[in-house]
Amino acid sequence: MSLGSLIQSIKNYNPEADFDLLEYAYKFGEECHAGQKRKSGAPYFSHCIGTAKILIDLKLDIYTICAAILHDTIEDNKEVTRDRLAWQFGETVADLVEGVSKISRYHFKGGVRQRQAESYLKLLLATAQDIRVILIKLADRLHNMETLSFQPESRQREIAKETFEVYAPMAQRLGISRLKSRLEDLAFKHTNPEEYQLIAKLLNQKLVKREDYANQMAEEIENTLRKAEVEAEVYGRPKNIYSIHQKMKEKGTAFEEIFDLMGLRILVKNNPDCYRCIGVIHNNWHHVPARFKDFIGLPKANGYRSIHTTIMDEGRRIEIQIRTHPMHEVAQDGIAAHWSYKEGVPSTNESETIFKWLRGMLEDIRELKNPNQFIRSMKHELLADQVYVFTPRGEVIELPAGSTSVDFAYKIHTQVGDTCKGTEVNGMIMPLRYQLRNGDRVKIITDVNAHPAREWLRWVRTAKAQNRIRQWFREQDRVQAIELGKRFLEIEMKRPRTDINIWLKSERVAEILQILNLKSSEDLLQHIGTGQQLPADIIALVSIDNFPKDIESTNGVIFHSTPTIDLNTLEPDSIRIMKCCHPIPGDEVVAYVTKGKGLSIHKHDCRRIPREDADRLIQVNWKPIDELSYPTEITFEVQDRSGILGKVSTAIAEQKINIRAGNFGPANLNGKTNLNPAKEGVGYNKMILEVTGLEQLEEAMRAIRQLKEVIRVSRR
């Protein structure tokens, strides 16, 4: 595309743009990419212009168009820096180009899961900086997808898969339907080429017939609306190939049985006409109630507004969208429609609210460091469907589908979430983990003495709720972690008469704090107590041979120097449940400090505990938590009767206990064949059960004992 064509395209929507800046960017970009070729053999600069053309179709500002032309200059030309671009094209263009370049520099360490998280995070970093960066990157990806066939086949599938998982969903979340549909179809074409070609062929075979029917229905609806004095434009909207594939997959039907291959769109003048229009249509055609959605009364967070309905016409389903012309612009261009192409800033208060919502959500997700948590929150919060619920005052709150009352509480305010005690949904008391539905009215019951529970982390959906719950526990656990860190450090030093408090004030510790970039000795102990730093690594920084003698104390380290630890407040990765005795919550247990491995949890009478290292033992409490289960083994002796194992399994299942494994037969517990005639007809069995704690295990064992065929049952 020539410079003149670019200028003319921009003049159609922004005749006052700085075309001198555009011309300068065009010539500079052409010079930077001179001699570079794409896989297709075309000049590389054609990709930069193709990216810019996609953004011109979205009517973006001149700075974004210039940045699109220059988006690969820093990557591909060593002489081009961010400062040089700022000097030649201004700070805005330089920031945008640098933002696009940074997307390819951020890395998670690890395998496939980490690389997927990395792809998501790249987009988040770009979006949080300036929304236009992600728009440039989406356009860049779309143009690359349009020319993907020149890449090796393995590379095609890799890029197409990433487009499916990251870029198309992001375009959908930003409301840019025109980009989303094209990205989906192009990705589908390369990940499933045979299915793509089949659907494309079938669509072309009946295209004329389908278009004739759509035109006929559009004319009939338009005439009906005209009689009701509703002025409207009605036209057909063909569905993209991938959406048809999804519909066939979801319904399990063949292409010939999909009747709604083309929907209708109705554009009216104003909001009242939208509702008058839907009333006329529902009065003249049967509609599917479950398919009616009002996104005008409850707009999506990205600004999308429209009314959706599905009507029946001679057995055919016809999907209809009703909206005003401004709503249609937002539906097509999404968040880009809220951008002023003249000033290069958000154009309305509504658009500023949308950007604040998006950035706030992205900041919450970015706080998650674990790749698995990051991906889960990304998919739930940014890429999944949403539900719309009401506060007691009638304010609308948008949450990811599957969100709970706890997510709702933290969405309102951190303090509301931290003191959440219960919830009312539509006037009824409901469990906190109840998954909210569209239209629910939610009231949070708070108590100043209430506090978060760690099990909330297992079912909250929003990144904000996860972060705030973890933050609360970090603050509450600080004192305990410091004391635990002291014990770890004392044991690692192997100097029981060392006064750790005096040592922590020494000059050497000050040096260690500086090396680790920590502010205080309490921070150091907290890092050790929570497993962020291993005691051995700290000791490696200390010359034990030159350990000062003046910090020894006459008081030796004793068992009770550390307060009793609540295991449920520790991170799961910092403790090990030992298989030698299979302890479970409710047992009398102790923790043994294992060098470099955290806490090993044993039953207090376990023979494997090294009794000679009493200073390594820590008192702990361990109470059951719903939804957390632990394996334990039971053995039982039964009369060998038909169906007895079924009865035992039923008794266990009635206690809502899962059987992980079992070993059944006439052998005794040592695995030897039963040679005792008196014991003929007796079965010896063992099972590994998953229980929440000792109380649940004892209930299960009582239920088994009540069976008349059971001779004895015990915990192994």
Q: At what angle do helices 19-32 and 3-11 cross, to 10 degrees?
A: 150
Q: How far apart are CA 296 and CA 286, in angstroms?
A: 22
Q: Concatenate the DSSP letters of all residues of 515-574 into one string.
A: HHT-SSHHHHHHHHHTTSS-HHHHHHTS-GGG--GGGB-SSPP-GGGSPPEEGGGS-GGG
- Give the strand pairing for 589-594 and 598-603: antiparallel
Residue type present at position 64: T
Q: Are the CB atoms for 533 and 527 separated by under 8 Å?
A: yes
Q: How far apart are CA 35 and CA 43, in angstroms?
A: 7
Q: How far apart are CA 366 and CA 373, in angstroms?
A: 10
Q: Which residues of 680-713 are buried (b: 16+ CB within 10 A; e: fewer)?
A: eeebbbebbbebbbbebbeebbebbeebeebeeb
Q: How far apart are CA 429 and CA 425, in angstroms?
A: 6
DSSP state of 151: S
Q: The tokens 């539509």 sit on which residue?
A: 426
76 is known as an active-site residue? yes
Tokens for 537, please give them. Answer: 């690594």
Residue from 23, 30, 76, 118 carrying the catalytic annotation? 76
Tokens for 51, please give them. Answer: 């990216």
Tokens for 516, please give them. Answer: 């680790």
Tokens for 539, please give them. Answer: 């000791």
Q: At what angle do helices 349-366 and 112-129 cross, to 10 degrees?
A: 150
- Give the strand pairing for 617-621 and 565-566: parallel
The answer for 575, left when phi > 0, alpha when psi is -120 to 50, beta otherwise, is beta
3-state class percentages of the chain: helix first, strand second, coil last, to nearest 5: 50, 15, 30
Q: How far apart are CA 661 and CA 654, in angstroms?
A: 17
314 is known as an active-site residue? no
For the chain, report the end-to-end CA distance as a whole number of angstroms: 78
Distance set, CA 713 to CA 129, 274, 707 (Å): 64, 70, 11
Burial of 666 (0-12, 13-18, 19+ CB in 10 A): middle
Q: How far apart are CA 391 and CA 394, in angstroms?
A: 5
Distance set, CA 537 to CA 123, 528, 591, 599 (Å): 36, 10, 22, 17
Could you list the active site residues? 75-76
